[in-house]
Structure 1
């Protein structure tokens, strides 16, 4: 029994043949090497012979370390390392200049072991750092001007650097379940309201004819609906009647329908 447990801790051995059989064609036509959920405990060196892939998925394994040789995957646009046991990332990750997507969520990364070289990933659009042990975010991430989405949820953050919050192309910043001070939470709520007003409110003079007419038609429908719906104070009540009579309401069918929907 003890022997079986020891074998389980070693994890599955990935051979070059297994790795080659795990290559698929991605949606955009590139090559995707999917080694997720394989029980891997150490980075399989054999995949260094497959560095021409565009996507590499090592998620949901038991990896504690990614070697510096990850820089050999120069074509890599998509790297998924989420749900492992990573405590650090190699500095060489900053050499993956074509990287578009990086998911390192649900690991054991600390601020100290987050390499500053992440700020070299100039083409990065999506970065997920959620579910780690981060107490702060490096201001240097503000250099990633192409970032559209950042996941920072479920960490130990008390503040977000302005250099990150004000990234020019940022559309989504998930900071849920962090121990922010109340003042910070209130500030973020206010900022969210401002963004909503900016995105969705417009004056009539700024709308084209077709858009304006559509809005007016919808507004007229809403007004008509509100006028037809009786207010709670005016709604007839027949609490003592089992069925309506002619005195209570002339149209029994109308009474039945209104009662059904009330």
Structure 2
């Protein structure tokens, strides 16, 4: 009897549809979140297929080893949180989640990602920290809405080239990776980019116009007084 109970515990907890429904929360902005974090489950519950109206799905801090293919049916989900599990791979059906804006796969056992991740055209945040990744699929460069990507505590020896294609990227975290020294400079330059825009004076407010005129005058003054020997 004791052996049977032990085996049952090792399989992880089972979540019924009723229990899943009781864990649906409404956020302050009116979004529906299914919160199954810290439930001791080793598999994604099949019953979530019947909760297709949720906007956010939190399966973090569990014992999940595999993302099932039926996750591809959760097409309305905008936030998918699977951090702190035991995932070793991501299925290609992940590319069907076209409304996904946040994907958190931090603290798992991932060694690679499918190229289908590049199909998530609305993705803003991608967290892949604390895994075993050495490279990213080139398709990541197609994520034109991506603003933040977490790659800390992996095995990157070079900064992924695909990141240079992400025009909206604001923050890259590559901490605690074996990235070579000269590459660190590239990482900084990747995140700090200056953009110059030409704007008609008529479109500027008086304060901004005055500031630009002052800076322009100072620049000319400095040029006139610059030592020609320098």
| TM-score range normalised by the length of the shorter chain | 0.7 to 0.9
Alignment correspondent of 1:47: 48
- RMSD, matched Cα: 2.4
Report matched runs for 1:207-226 at 5 Å.
Answer: 209=210
Shift of 1:102: 0.4
Count residues with an aligned counterpart: 202
Shift of 1:28: 2.4
Alpha-carbon distance in 2 for matches of 1:187, 1:76: 34
Pairing 1:163–2:162 present? yes
Give the secondary-structure state (helix, strand or coil) at the position aligned to 1:178: coil
Shift of 1:43: 1.4
Give the secondary-structure state (helix, strand or coil) at the position aligned to 1:150: strand
Pairing 1:136–2:135 present? yes
Query: Rg larger in 1 or in 2?
Result: 1
Report matched runs for 1:99-138 at 5 Å.
Answer: 99-111=100-112, 114-138=113-137
Pairing 1:195–2:192 present? yes
Alignment correspondent of 1:86: 87
The Cα offsets for residues 88-144 of structure 1, whole Å up to 9 and x where unpaired, read as: 111111000000100000001112xx1110000000000001111101111210000
Shift of 1:74: 1.1
Higher RCO structure, 1 or 2 (CA under 8 Å, sep 6+): 2
Alignment correspondent of 1:181: 180
Kept in 1, the 8 Å contact 2:12–2:40? The answer is yes
TM-score of the two chains, using structure 1 as the length reference: 0.71
Alignment correspondent of 1:27: 28
Would you identify which runs of 4 or more consecutive aligned residues in structure 1 move more than 4 Å? 1-4, 206-213
Pairing 1:38–2:39 present? yes
Shift of 1:6: 2.5
